[in-house]
Structure 1
Amino acid sequence: MREVCVIGGSRYFGKRLVARLLAAGDRVTVVNRGSSAPPGGVRHLVADRNDEASLHNALGDRTFDVVVDQVCYTPRQAATARRVFGGRTGRYLLTSTVEVYEYEDSDTPVREDAVDPHGVTVDLDAPWDDPEYLERHYGEGKRQAEAVLAADPRLPWASVRSAHVLGGADDFTGRVEHYASRMRDGRPIRVPADNRPATYISVDEIADFLFWAVGQEFTGPVNANSHGPLVTADICEAVRRVTGGTAEFASVEVGTFSPFSFARSYAMDNTRAARLGFPFTHTSAWLGTAVAETLHAPGRKTPKDED
């Protein structure tokens, strides 16, 4: 039986990860601010992960085999976690993102060494507490969080650079619904003139991957994405099969594009994870199901956007 701590873990693929850990017989501790209840069967600790004293007090003298950090977005948060969990866990697993590669525009899927955390400059004084700044610098925040963990050789760590996630009746992003509403209403879908492919992963596969990673010993960054990059038209075709309608694309040189529409490639190379033993699926195996379960979710809301 493993002692696993999940920071966050109350929604989307985090709660799926917790369910998998519990089903495997692990003892799971969930740490969050208490704004949402974690799944049943876990030990729940209420703490603000931005408040180092609060985190220390909540954890007491507990130790863990693995910590999975689902909600670390800034180098400050990583620095706090490094101080608090250093010496009390055998391994620290950070959920990161494909957005760390936002400056790596390449026709070839990028490997992990394209962004080496040891070479990333950390700025702890940036306005990370400003929500607008954090939203604009999401990829940079994750890059620097990885760098903070990498700087401490005493803490074995790994980062899972997740591709864009699709699926789930509890998808809170509204990105798939964006396409459904525009196709239903006959409004154009804004895409770059050169609309580039990206890699994706289903909500269940990323939960499977994180569960698998908990039991591994690798360190450093690892890409997690299904085989088979997608472009906007692929997602729209999956939407059409569920809701009908026609996708009309409007090429835009500047401004806001539709979700999952990119002027640069966001394709990752998942060779490292595959060699470590994780059997990725192909997007064609789950795309239709992922879109359907999102669009059939009860009480789903149509997103508000500008024409």
Structure 2
Amino acid sequence: MKALFIGGTGTISAAITRQLAAQGCELYVLNRGTRNEGLPSSVKTLEADINDESCVADLIRDMSFDVVADFIAFVPAQLERDYRLFAGKTKQFIFISSASAYQKPLSDYRVTESTPLANPYWEYSRNKIACEEYLMKQYREQRFPITIVRPSHTYDERSIPLGVHGSKGSWQVAKRMLEGKPVLIHGDGTSLWTMTHNEDFAKGFIGLMGNLHAIGESVQITSDESLTWNQIYTAIADALDVPLSAVHAPSEFLAACSREDFTGGLIGDKANSVVFDNAKLKRLVPGFTADIRFDQGIKRTVAHILAHPELQREDPEFDAWCDSVIAALDEAASAVRRSLAD
């Protein structure tokens, strides 16, 4: 198989790249070359900015592929560019959408590919929906051989997956745990969520590559494991070998008092209970299973981050915000108690 990845070094794509290289795939990655140091030696690089359409067109002028996958397309204009570049040059074009595009709030917590797409809370998700609509139009009218993949919360060894964190990533929450400070969990921590290790995601994705039954289809790839946010944070604390000290706060309150845009990622995504039905994926990729349980995968992630100080990006602004939110919740509870005592 001859494949081209636009991107190829991110959380989702890095594991796919490694597994394909190990299988002997003729794999090309097209990116700006700023994060290619970890690529397997067999992977061929095409160094360019995908947004420089004329440059990319020159690079691939005499090339064609069995599969082209774009991991860094977020708005329809980028898919329009991809169509101009790759129509007639690939047997399959895979777009990485997002499970956040599904209906919010959900009418049924069990999510399948037929769950309506509608997220009024998050522009990111609405853009992904518009991208899907554009590609389906090209499939129906031009027979452009598309496959749409919808990941949910996928993680790797480089970042701890969380519900609430600052703009510099998740390390500051882990640091608070290590220091014995309380951490914020949205809601009461009992809503259900799904975490998928990128190595498991890669197995499902590779099974869709070159799969004629996947053409014209939308497919979600997630673990079958459902966890509460309390369980997720407990597993992270266990991996750090510290007790969990948690403070629960309403999602709406966190979104209202944060400088970060929590409305989309929290109200429009993580605050909702979701349980994914992966029956369609398992029909298309017989034998697929997500093997890495979260409590096992997060231990690998934490060990890697603790061994790599460059991944430990501190965020004092977020740390101070957590302290102020927790203090405000304590003061509100105290004020109510005082009013009842009067």
Length-normalised TM-score, structure 1: 0.83
Q: Is the 8 A contact 1:194 1:263 kept in 2?
A: no
Pair 1:160-2:158 in alignment: no
Flag the 1:178–1:72 CA change in 2: closer, same or farther, 3 A.
same
The letter for the 1-side match of 2:293 is W
Partner of 2:137: 151
Classify the secondary structure of the residue corresponding to 1:106: coil
Rounded to whole Å, the distance in 2 between the matches of 1:106 and 1:7 is 35
Identity %: 22
Pair 1:239-2:246 in alignment: no
Partner of 1:89: 90
Partner of 1:18: 17
Question: More deviation in 246-255 or 61-70?
Answer: 246-255
Equivalent of 2:312, from 288, 293, 301?
301
Q: CA deviation at 1:303?
A: 4.4
Q: Is the 8 A contact 2:11 2:156 kept in 1?
A: no
Q: Is the 8 A contact 1:190 1:256 kept in 2?
A: no
- Deviation readout 1:200-259 (Å, 9 max, x if unpaired): 211111122222221422132111111121221111121122221223122225243698
Flag the 1:35–1:204 CA change in 2: closer, same or farther, 3 A.
same
Q: CA deviation at 1:77?
A: 0.6
Partner of 1:192: 187
Rounded to whole Å, the distance in 1 between the matches of 2:190 and 2:160 is 25
- Deviation readout 1:110-140 (Å, 9 max, x if unpaired): 2112246xxx9xxxxxxxxxxxxxx952212
Q: CA deviation at 1:172?
A: 7.9
Classify the secondary structure of the residue corresponding to 1:151: helix
Q: CA deviation at 1:86?
A: 0.5
- The CA RMSD over aligned residues, in Å, is 2.6
Classify the secondary structure of the residue corresponding to 1:181: helix
The letter for the 2-side match of 1:141 is N
Q: CA deviation at 1:35?
A: 2.2
Classify the secondary structure of the residue corresponding to 1:89: coil
Rounded to whole Å, the distance in 2 between the matches of 1:48 and 1:278 is 37
Classify the secondary structure of the residue corresponding to 2:33: coil
Classify the secondary structure of the residue corresponding to 1:152: helix
The letter for the 2-side match of 1:80 is R
Partner of 1:124: none
Rounded to whole Å, the distance in 2 between the matches of 1:138 and 1:81 is 19
Flag the 1:224–1:53 CA change in 2: closer, same or farther, 3 A.
same
Rounded to whole Å, the distance in 2 between the matches of 1:114 and 1:78 is 23
Unaligned 5+ segments in structure 2 are 162-167, 256-261, 323-342
- Deviation readout 1:141-183 (Å, 9 max, x if unpaired): 2211111111112211111111201331x23877654543333
Rounded to whole Å, the distance in 2 between the matches of 1:62 and 1:287 is 40
Question: More deviation in 248-257 or 77-86?
Answer: 248-257
Larger Rg: 2
Classify the secondary structure of the residue corresponding to 2:111: coil
Q: Write 1 or 2 for the structure with the bigger share of helix.
A: 2
Rounded to whole Å, the distance in 2 between the matches of 1:214 and 1:147 is 21
Equivalent of 2:177, from 183, 208, 213?
183
The letter for the 1-side match of 2:153 is H
Instruction: Count how many residue pairs are aligned between Structure 1 and Structure 2.
Output: 286
Partner of 1:250: 248
Classify the secondary structure of the residue corresponding to 2:27: strand
Length-normalised TM-score, structure 2: 0.75
- What aligned pairs does 1:104-253 form with structure 2 within 5 A after superposition? 104-115=105-116, 137-153=123-139, 154-168=143-157, 170-171=158-159, 177-184=171-178, 185-193=180-188, 195-217=190-212, 218-219=214-215, 220-243=217-240, 244-252=242-250
The letter for the 1-side match of 2:7 is G
Flag the 1:278–1:84 CA change in 2: closer, same or farther, 3 A.
farther
Partner of 2:340: none
Rounded to whole Å, the distance in 1 between the matches of 2:196 and 2:90 is 28
Rounded to whole Å, the distance in 2 between the matches of 1:26 and 1:253 is 44
Q: Is the 8 A contact 2:205 2:221 kept in 1?
A: no
Pair 1:286-2:293 in alignment: yes
Partner of 2:271: 263
Q: Is the 8 A contact 1:4 1:27 kept in 2?
A: yes
Rounded to whole Å, the distance in 2 between the matches of 1:91 and 1:253 is 40
Q: Is the 8 A contact 2:11 2:155 kept in 1?
A: no
